Structure 1
């Protein structure tokens, strides 16, 4: 019987055995892929000083910092915060404990994150975040490696129909020019409004914000080949040439491992990325499977490239792990034989009292002497 105190807060939920098994299988498969490609796992703490946590990623706004759960540490009397994103923590580790480690530095992570308030599109306030960061490089080669790594991880987790949508987070700044005299001149105070209208695909709002020259960018979207051609036609001054050549090289490296599209004006979820960003999708998933891109670590200003997946978000479409043979161990069973079964990959469930039903406990076998026997054939 459920009591009022048994209810969970909004945005939080229990993961019962079948779903927890899918999430665990995905986590293991993805971490194995990252490890195989030379990414060493780190485990940052769940909470740390708020000033460090909120200030390690260039481009993170005050509004985004307000999503952090905060409280005062009775030991230090300083404000602590629960992490809402692990990427800044990896940046801190790279800039401090691993500052002298050879570059490029490849790090992987997996852990829970929490938010004070989630979005309407994704109401979960607790998320299992898994990802990889390539510290010390934001080149085309680094971006290509990270995108392929993300695609391979999703496939290892059992997802199909993988697609990748590229974007250029610094597009407005590049075209406007640092001094406002770029190919598409724009007053510095108009940058944010133009970015917002491009992101929402609002042609009328874009004109009203003074970004009429940016209208062709709204239509340079779709499959990578045609979208790149559209952007090259817009980029008469060549300001985007190196970026577009980079996107073409990354797409060529991915080949047919995933479907590739381009939406150069997409900004949602790319608040701290620099020249390149990407969103991952999978067949049957309504929301994005993950995001990544290039960025700078605030404080050290070191270049980096990485991606993040939210595994619990993928649980609905991930395949259920195959059933493991389970053997019932009766009272007084041969412990050495049971240990051998577990070493060979079996699950075992030991009898605790008379009258137990092995089948109802999920067992298909029972240990008789030193051998597992199917229940239907047991004595």
Structure 2
């Protein structure tokens, strides 16, 4: 019984822990090359402050407990984006805008879903705080694609959405009585319910699919031109990644984009059942109540490890008595060496692929 773990938790064993660490390092290095500097927020914060920055998500998905030192309620972070927003708004509030930050760390969910049974996940991401222009969005989407490519992820696709689309249309050309219910029905692609609530929105259900076709349908739907700036922006963002990835568009998708503003996107990888990342534009709350625009993305690395594959497990066995200088030279040359600590040790017992013999590495 002492070896059991709570539901939704698991150990990461070799070689998968190594693979996850290598993937994380490659993603962060790709971000660093674009000018994103790493921050490392704490695992837990005061629940009240974290709830404010999580906005629509609140603390419904956060594990909370009373801190024995401060006697205040703390929350284990269910998402790191809100913490990066706090750092940008407070500790780095003096920094010239935009500020580019990257991060990686574990997040903890209060409850899991059938599609995502793990309650603890590794989250990696980038946030560009102080700008949510088309240029900023183009950069963030490009960094996300570069990061996945650097990590060795293949068959990548991006699904774009317009989180504030319904609000924009309702304010400009298509007023609706119950906008919340309409959003839910459009998200569910419930044509019958949409026809009853607001039939003018029905074309939006068909305006989803491969990017170019969906964009053309949206342009045809937008006879009043109220969406022209957003659609032109989408086209420019898509041009930034060209044919490096597959592009789709689902303009009314809102699941997971509750706090995004005019742009949202999901990242998918071949062979992974659900999205491996998500991003878009949003606002950062400052201490004085003012809001600052931002653009960013997060990648959940656990599901990508199996897609990328195991790392190279080339291991060189150094028989008992091998000179220390020989092992040091091979490690300097990039080898992983495993030294025998007893005369009876064997390469098989140490899962080695090569043997040090006659002053050279010999395949086993």
Report the TM-score range of the alignment, normalised by the length of the smaller protein: over 0.9
Partner of 1:108: 102
Give the one of 135, 141, 145 matched to 1:147: 141
* Structure 2 runs not aligned, ≥5 long: none
Deviation at 1:160, TM superposition (A): 1.3
Give the one of 191, 195, 199 matched to 2:183: 195
SS of 1:249's partner is helix
CA distance, structure 2, for counterparts of residue 357 and residue 254 of structure 1: 50
Partner of 1:239: 226
CA distance, structure 2, for counterparts of residue 194 and residue 329 of structure 1: 70
Cα 1:278–1:373 change in 2 (3 A) is closer
Deviation at 1:311, TM superposition (A): 0.4
Give the one of 327, 331, 334 matched to 1:345: 334
Please give the root-mean-square deviation of Cα atoms over the aligned residues, in Å.
Answer: 1.7
SS of 1:147's partner is helix
Contact kept? 1:30, 1:157, Cα under 8 Å: yes
Partner of 1:50: 47
Q: What is the total number of aligned residue pairs between the two structures?
A: 361
Give the one of 59, 64, 80 matched to 2:74: 80
CA distance, structure 2, for counterparts of residue 220 and residue 117 of structure 1: 34
Partner of 2:173: 183
Give the one of 354, 362, 367 matched to 2:343: 354
Partner of 1:99: 93
Contact kept? 2:26, 2:150, Cα under 8 Å: yes
Deviation at 1:359, TM superposition (A): 2.9
Contact kept? 2:89, 2:285, Cα under 8 Å: no
Q: Deviations over 1:139-186 (max 9, x none)?
A: 111111111111111122112111111100001111111xxxx20112
Q: Deviations over 1:181-219 (max 9, x none)?
A: x201124xx1211111111111122234x2222111111
Q: Which moved more, 1:21-30 or 1:42-51?
A: 21-30
Cα 1:359–1:241 change in 2 (3 A) is same
* Structure 1 runs not aligned, ≥5 long: none
Contact kept? 1:57, 1:298, Cα under 8 Å: no
CA distance, structure 2, for counterparts of residue 98 and residue 362 of structure 1: 47
CA distance, structure 2, for counterparts of residue 320 and residue 61 of structure 1: 35
Deviation at 1:220, TM superposition (A): 0.7
Contact kept? 1:142, 1:305, Cα under 8 Å: yes
How do residues 1-379 of structure 1 correspond to structure 2 at under 5 angstroms? Answer: 4-58=1-55, 60-62=56-58, 65-177=59-171, 182-187=172-177, 190-208=178-196, 210-299=197-286, 300-328=290-318, 330-331=320-321, 333-367=322-356, 371-374=359-362
Deviation at 1:316, TM superposition (A): 2.0
